[in-house]
Structure 1
Amino acid sequence: MPPASAVTDRAAVAVERATAALARLRRARLLHPVGRTFAGEVTVWGTPGLRTGVSLLDDPGRFPATVRLSRGVPTPEGWPDVLGLALRLHRDPGRPFDLLVSSSGAPPVLRNLPLPRRRFAGTYSTIMPLRAGRRRLFLAALADPDSPDLGRSLAEVADAVRADAPRLVLAVASAVGPWRPFGQVSLDAQRSARDDAALAFDPVGNLPPGLRAAGPLAWLRRHTYRGSQRARGAAPQSGGSTGATV
């Protein structure tokens, strides 16, 4: 009987090959193929009250960012879809922080469920919890009531960014606790379609010290993304700096 590691390796190869085949058939990303990418800035205020133990969340700071808003399936513009927000926080030196969140509900019972919706404003959460030490944490991007509305389509998102600098609030919560805002992300100039096509995130490997993805869903996510990126010739950035985002 082969060792467990050999079985796991074979399963990983199978998942990556299947994902790559589907991505080649689609001729685009397997997940969230249609989106717009923008420059941005992340301002971290720090966590109120109990600290998470992750200095990037707990301590004030300001970082350049790359932000991608996308449609999951995608359905026709204006129809309900699982919407996505991918955020790359650039740190120099050090790895970037890749945060991928999907449209969800704000209450504890809904924050781990992807929920289709029509508008790009609303709650986006990590769906899959992350771990800081022995604690389970969810991260989210929440609507800012004082920010320009992002609209119902990617074209309206681009119009909102050209007209102003829309913002989303970054927040952290336990599995059952309330959202605690710790910062914000603002959107700036739109990147080219070529930049959007080449951008490749690593939501499992590109995490800050003290935060980790764990469990079978993290394993599946890692190999699904690898297969999809391999099919389109993209590789996730793992270095620091504000340079290339591909």
Structure 2
Amino acid sequence: MDLRGKVAIITGVSKGIGLATAEALLARGAVVAGWGRSAPEGLSHERFQFFECDIRNELAVQEAFINTQRELGQEIHVLVNNAGIGHFGPVDGFSSEDWHAMFDTNVHGLFYCTKAALPQMKKQREGHIINVASLAGTAGTANLAGYCATKYAVRGFSDALFKEVRPDGVRVTCLMPGSVETNFNGATPGQQPDPHKMQPEDIAAAIVHALEAPQTVLLSEIQMRPTQPK
């Protein structure tokens, strides 16, 4: 897909991978609708517009989609389902509230956004949905059971969805990064990039790569790892 002039919705745009992806798509000429609970600081661009949206609320998602079409036009070419949260801990010491919060954002919110965008993409017979999962969707890890469960769900959903919407000209990519240096789980990135972790810009570059693949090519799953982890 040639991204120039194409409209892309990115969830969880305020920081980390979402912000880096917005900047990467703007650099390729796309028009970006950034969805999030808070606006990204310092991102000011004539082709960027922020829409406040808590994706855990289906009505809020529907409203954000209507507002996006009203402001940026009917055609929606890209949806990057990036918003996600992680709470870690042993299963028998885990709060049910944290469990539900992860599923509400990582799984249900992703479903609401996909459901909102798909009819327009099918109508156009063109569109690309990127679901940002995790390597936690490929192997279980102690004290990450809830997070792994959500990312396994995203991977299964993505695998089924790509088969479902292929005939409509819509592509679906499940991106599974390993350790990325972001504010994830409350951690603050260091002043110097951690050589043992990938940077948000690295993930954004992979998203651009998947989007710009020839129309005859579908990168259905991409796994990413640091070259030399600790």
Structure with greater Cα Rg: 1
The TM-score with structure 2 as length reference comes to 0.26
Q: Greater relative contact order (Cα 8 A, min sep 6): structure 1 or 2?
A: 1
Q: Whose strand fraction is larger, Structure 1's or Structure 2's?
A: 1
The TM-score with structure 1 as length reference comes to 0.25
Q: Whose helix fraction is larger, Structure 1's or Structure 2's?
A: 2
